[in-house]
Structure 1
Amino acid sequence: MFHNHPKIEVSPSDLDKRAIKWGWGIIVLNFLVVLWFYFDLPDKIPLHFNIEGEVNGYGNKLELWILPALNLIVYYIIAVFTFKIKPYKMNFPTKVTEKSAPILYRMALTTMAWTGVITALLLFLVSIEVILRASQIDSFSLFYPINALVLLLLFGSFYIIYKMIKVPKS
């Protein structure tokens, strides 16, 4: 399907590279925050929330480490793909021509880099929300920022697809 894409080399921009570094910083911060609060948390903590942000599942506080670990794994995969995968091996929602290839490839790499940062931030905020709820700090919630990031990922994806379709082909 994508074997006919022009084989033009495009590497991540300086801003993309900085975004990847910011994402790694978020990952490190996620582990540090969990470590900082871990020993003060009760043994049973809230780990699952319904669509309205209400707690509907509990677990052992050791399970809190799943969030930064998952964050690390997901971010590592996204970061590796951003730097290692050749954009001409990706699928695009439009025909890729010699003229459109550099633009589409740059958009794909930038999208990968920023999707990683937003995902890392999202999982970091979920970790903080679990810590807040476990510490019984209900006066402050990250429910709305977390949902805003989920919507940003969703609608941002549609926007990028729309922008890619609008790139001139010839």
Structure 2
Amino acid sequence: MVKKFISEDEIPFYTRVFNFISLALLAATWIVPLMAYDALPETVPSHFNLRGEVDGYGNKVLVFLIPVIATFTTGILWFVMNTKNPYFRKFRKPGPYQIQLSEQAQYRVLSTTNLLTALLFLIVEVTMVESARTAIVPSYFFIIFVICGLLIILPLVEAFRSK
């Protein structure tokens, strides 16, 4: 039996909200391609360069690749977040650049990371579907870079905030 990382009463309310939103975003990542699949052309964009231009195409079945990867990634984060396993969390001897966090702080960092990861996958999926339907990359493509930055910054802020 897997031990829980922290008890239910130790989870802050906003972290519960983050977890719920993460699940909703993951569900939306599956709903978008399911609803749009019949209207998509046989060839869809599969890769975008840094300028937001399509530089790779594939079969329209590829629209389901992002939800599969998103489910796998958020599933791993969910497992790590909810499992008490010393190899996932404890440093044997903290070095000068390692931060020792409480279990609640580690849970918050992983919850924030999970939320941003689910959001990133949803935006990539919507961008892929919209560019396939309209043959134009949506103007909100730059948001992907903002979320990638937040994926780096927010967990660090959360870690330092709870030190």
* Bin for the TM-score computed over the shorter chain: 0.7 to 0.9
Secondary structure of the residue that 2:52 maps to in structure 1?
coil
* Structure 2 equivalent of residue 33 of structure 1: 32
- Kept after mapping to 1: 8 A contact 2:19/2:115: yes
Residues in 2 aligned to 1:69 and 1:54: alpha-carbon distance in whole angstroms: 24
Residues in 2 aligned to 1:80 and 1:15: alpha-carbon distance in whole angstroms: 19
Q: Does 1:15 align with 2:21?
A: no
User: What's the TM-score, normalizing by structure 2?
Assistant: 0.80
Distance apart, 1:86 and its partner CA: 4.7
Deviation larger for 14-23 or 25-34: 14-23
- Kept after mapping to 1: 8 A contact 2:131/2:137: no
Distance apart, 1:137 and its partner CA: 5.5
- Kept after mapping to 2: 8 A contact 1:27/1:71: yes
- Kept after mapping to 2: 8 A contact 1:87/1:105: no
Deviation larger for 11-20 or 124-133: 11-20
* Structure 2 equivalent of residue 119 of structure 1: 117
Gaps of 5+ in 2: none
Residues in 1 aligned to 2:107 and 2:6: alpha-carbon distance in whole angstroms: 9
1:133-156 CA distances to partner (integer Å, 9 max, x unpaired)?
101253733311111000111223
Distance apart, 1:20 and its partner CA: 1.4
User: What's the TM-score, normalizing by structure 1?
Assistant: 0.77
Question: 122, 126, 129: which is aligned to 1:128?
Answer: 126
* Structure 1 equivalent of residue 47 of structure 2: 48
Runs (4 or more) in structure 1 with deviation over 6 Å come to: none
Distance apart, 1:82 and its partner CA: 1.1
Secondary structure of the residue that 1:149 maps to in structure 2?
helix
- Kept after mapping to 1: 8 A contact 2:80/2:88: no
Residues in 2 aligned to 1:104 and 1:17: alpha-carbon distance in whole angstroms: 18
**Percent identity over paired residues:** 23
Secondary structure of the residue that 1:59 maps to in structure 2?
strand
Distance apart, 1:51 and its partner CA: 1.3
* Structure 2 equivalent of residue 4 of structure 1: none
Residues in 2 aligned to 1:80 and 1:13: alpha-carbon distance in whole angstroms: 18
- Kept after mapping to 2: 8 A contact 1:87/1:109: no
Distance apart, 1:72 and its partner CA: 0.9
Give the structure with higher Rg (CA): 1
Q: How many residues align?
A: 152
Residues in 1 aligned to 2:155 and 2:78: alpha-carbon distance in whole angstroms: 18
Residues in 2 aligned to 1:26 and 1:153: alpha-carbon distance in whole angstroms: 16
Secondary structure of the residue that 1:46 maps to in structure 2?
strand
- Kept after mapping to 1: 8 A contact 2:127/2:137: no
